[in-house]
C-alpha cells in the first residue's frame, strides 16, 4: 500500500481525491503489478491514515455529492516519468 501511495500520489493541501477513485486506483495498481489480493476497502481506508495525514469531506463532484480525501492528488504523467527516471539512475 505504501508503494502505491508513493508511486501514484502526491500530498497537496489544495487537492482532493474521491475516496472510491483512490481505492479503485489502488486495486488497479495491485492487479497491474501482480501483487497479492488487494486490501478490502475498509482496511485500505483505515491503513491509509497511517501513511498520510488527510482530512475527509463531502464535495460535489460532477454533480454528485461524494466523500473525498483532502490533501492528496494523483501524480501527473510528468511526475510519474520523473520518478521512473530517478529510480533507474
1-53 pLDDT, tens per residue?
999 999 999 999 999 999 999 999 999 999 999 998 999 999 999 999 999 98
Give the whole-angstrom CA distance, residue 72 versus residue 54.
Answer: 7
Q: What is the pLDDT of residue 87?
A: 52
CATH of region 2-73: 1.10.10.10
Residue 69 has pLDDT above 60, yes or no: yes
Q: What is the pLDDT of residue 11?
A: 94
Sign of CA dihedral 80, 83, 88, 89: positive
Kindly list the domain boundaries of the chain, sorted by start residue: 2-73
Residue 72 has pLDDT above 70, yes or no: yes
Contact 75, 15 (CB under 8 A): no
Amino acid at each position: 500500500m505504501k508503494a502505491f501511495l508513493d508511486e501514484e500520489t502526491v500530498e497537496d493541501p489544495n487537492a482532493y481525491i474521491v475516496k472510491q477513485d483512490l481505492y479503485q486506483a489502488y486495486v488497479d495498481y495491485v492487479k497491474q503489478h501482480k501483487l497479492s489480493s488487494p486490501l478490502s476497502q475498509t482496511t485500505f481506508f483505515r491503513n491509509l491514515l497511517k501513511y498520510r495525514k488527510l482530512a475527509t469531506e463531502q464535495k460535489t463532484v460532477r454533480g454528485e455529492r461524494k466523500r473525498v480525501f483532502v490533501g492528496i492528488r494523483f501524480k501527473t504523467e510528468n511526475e510519474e516519468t520523473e520518478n521512473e527516471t530517478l529510480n533507474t539512475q
